[in-house]
Structure 1
Amino acid sequence: MTDPAAGRPTLTVCRGCCCGSERKSPGVDHAAVLTTLNSAAGESATVRVADCLGPCERADVVVVGPSPEGRRRGARPVWVARTGSARVADALAQWARAGGPGIADAPPAVLARAFRQER
């Protein structure tokens, strides 16, 4: 049996030591942002929560992983900083619904926050 989630983009939401914390991002309703991502992405993307992804100075981080088709087209994961607002969560979900990296162009709210993560 094939996993239906395997063909979708993935939104990996950092909720480790800094991301998702009131200390690092005061006034952000992190639970509401996660709820927005989950409901807006619907069946178009897989939303998962990770512990610490690393770039704590850029909290709140989301990594948008391409679908298998996006990867075949040469797309790589896109790291997005400062995602702690409903507007940015909606933009991320909109992009995922449209196919994500390699399939659809990222919305301006995502492009403005995208960064290269060196490993």
Structure 2
Amino acid sequence: MSRRTARPRRALKNRTPADASGPVLAWCTGSRCAGLRRLADGEDHEQQIVSTIRATPGAVLINSPCLGRCELACVAAVARRDGPNDQIGPLAWFSGLEDHRRFHALREWLRAGGPQQILQPDRVLPSALRAATCGTTPAPRIRRG
């Protein structure tokens, strides 16, 4: 009977420390939003959002089956997360993201770090996103464990 020795696993290289601050994106994957995105330009917006979040330091993606704001067309909400204390600020809501310009403006803004002020997530926005702003709501409650 031979005895195998286990090789120590190499740690995966994480591109961002766990305490990095960054944007939190609540992305609607409901049937209305997904359908509007497909009808608008046929691009795979979901895959593009996933790759944007993965490439953005400290970013977090929350996929939701429906955010409940169907009257606003394709929607998403963005907040700022302070990594060291894990505090999440209010959500800035954006509508009409099936529009090519708005969607790509959202991606570029997220890639640049998204909201820079935790309490005012919609203070500095690209012009294409300013027209898409439809309000802010209190910070989401996150239950751990």
TM over 0.5: yes
Please tell me whether Structure 1 or Structure 2 has the larger radius of gyration of its CA atoms.
Answer: 2
Deviation at 1:9, TM superposition (A): 0.6
Aligned residue pairs total 113
How many angstroms apart in 1 are the aligned matches of 2:95 and 2:19? 24
Q: Quick check: 2:33–2:70 contact (8 Å CA) kept in 1?
A: yes
- Evaluate the alpha carbon distance shift between residue 21 and residue 54 of structure 1 in structure 2; reply closer, same or farther with a 3 A threshold: same
Q: CA deviation at 1:48?
A: 3.0
In the alignment, structure 1 residue 12 sits paired with structure 2 residue 26: yes
User: Which moved further from structure 2: 83-92 or 97-106?
Assistant: 97-106
Q: Structure 1 residues 86, 37: closer, same or farther in 2, change over 3 A?
A: farther
Distance in 2, matches of 1:21 and 1:32, equals 11
Select the residue among 100, 110, 118 that pairs with 2:129. Answer: 110
Q: 1:97 to 1:36 in 2, by over 3 A?
A: same
Percentage of pairs with the same residue: 28
TM score, norm. by length of structure 1: 0.71
- 1 or 2, which has the higher strand percentage? 2
Q: How does 1:1-119 map to 2 (within 5 A)?
A: 4=18, 7-21=21-35, 27-28=39-40, 32-44=44-56, 45-68=59-82, 76-103=90-117, 105-116=124-135
1:6-60 residue CA offsets vs partner (Å, 9 max, x unmatched)? 62212211122522125xx672357611222223344213233201111111121
Between Structure 1 and Structure 2, which shows a larger proportion of helix residues?
A: 1
Cα distance in 2 between the residues matched to 1:5 and 1:51: 28
Give the Cα separation in 2 of the matches to 1:5 and 1:96: 18
Question: What SS is found at the alignment partner of 2:27?
Answer: strand
Q: Which amino acid aligns with 2:126?
A: P
Q: Which protein, 1 or 2, shows the higher relative CO under an 8 Å CA cutoff with sep ≥ 6?
A: 1
Structure 2-normalised TM-score? 0.60
1:4 offset after TM fit, Å? 2.9
Rounded to whole Å, the distance in 2 between the matches of 1:5 and 1:20 is 32
Could you list the runs of 5+ residues in structure 1 that have no partner in the other structure? 70-74
CA contact (8 A) 1:67 1:101 kept: no
